[in-house]
Amino acid sequence: MGNIFEPQCTPSLLGPDDNEGSLKAKYELGMFPKRLGQGQFSKAYECSSRDSHEEAYALKVFFQDADAADHAKNELRVLRVLGHHPRIIRVVECDREEPFPLRLVLELCRGGQLFDRIKERGRYDEQDACAVTRQILEAVAFMHGRGVMHRDLKPENILLVSEDNDIDIKVCDFGIAKVADRGFMPRSTSFLGSDYYLAPEMIRQEEYGPEVDVWAAGVSTYAVLSGTLPFMGEGGDLRQTYEKIVERDLKFDGEAWEDKSELAMDFVSQMLLVQRDKRPNAATALHHPWLVHCGLDEDTVQPQVPFRSQRPLIAGPQLSMGSPPSVICSTRQAPYMLPQRTGDEAPASFPSVRTDMIARKISAPAVLNGSQRVGTSIV
């Protein structure tokens, strides 16, 4: 692991000190700033208020190029639309230095990425996994209610608030999120996201909406419960990965699932329905018996009303990936049909490296039919 402390450089990470309202006048980093993380378009550092060193924040410094500038502008816009929610990262202040809005001051989450926490633990026990999933869906339901589609929901973009707590989370990184026009739900055909978390309709390059966040939340729940990912080609092969996603090559095999309840598997199966109109929206998913009754004896859980996917009216290997097909759940059977486990192929492991967001200039269907090949480069 590299050194997380970096020497200050010129120009200052906090920007120019040209007036008393500047970030540099309000915050400080120290001689060796602590780096919290780095993505495709930015680096994040811990900073503190000059007025009170006990008030710590995250400084997100975007790279000086046009793509990074677009992400910065979009993230700031989305965070302002969302306002405050306990499960979504909050923007404190921004730097509007031209030509790029280069810096955001955000609330600090000291626990790091959920991705890293899963790797440390191997996998979560069911009760903790349920708590994490519930909070993710609370954030997603709120976003969708505000007309925002995240499009890159994954454990790398979910932060733990504290180093000492495994379940208190906040969703972050809204650089490719989409905001709907007033009164409508966001729709898009752009091929954006992270390979292992893409919904089938994105790979088929169909028009899609907030249902893609529900799918990604389902993939993330699978990862939290098992330390593996549900859909990954051999050696990370992209074509095989896409095939597994569009064919819903979903299994609940291996040691990780032996102590998990049927309700947990049913919940994941419902979130990962290929038919997007059958997937529950985030608000409906919060009422699934697994989230409502987690921790109770499963034999005592007898829901009176079938759990059904309902569309709202608006106002991504030891975190391993992998596994093939279980039976698609049908919401038409009362109270609901539980997934069947088939085969004995071991799931692939959680990836050892983080999954980068992709914005490919090729056709995903072409990757599936083999007429185009895709490397690991990101465009």
Instruction: Determine the Cα–Cα distance for residues 181 and 326; give it in Å rounded to an integer.
Output: 38
CA separation for the pair 65, 165 (Å, rounded): 36
Catalytic residue selected from 152, 166, 195, 249: 152
Closest CA to 321 of 167, 212, 194: 194
125 is catalytic: no
Residue 293 amino acid letter: H
120-128: long-range contacts at Cβ-Cβ below 8 A with a sequence spacing of 24 or more? 121/166, 121/227, 122/227, 122/318, 123/224, 123/225, 123/226, 123/227, 123/228, 123/256, 124/166, 124/224, 124/225, 126/225, 126/259, 126/260, 126/261, 126/264, 126/294, 127/294, 127/295, 128/166, 128/167
Task: Tell me which residues are annotated as active site.
Answer: 152
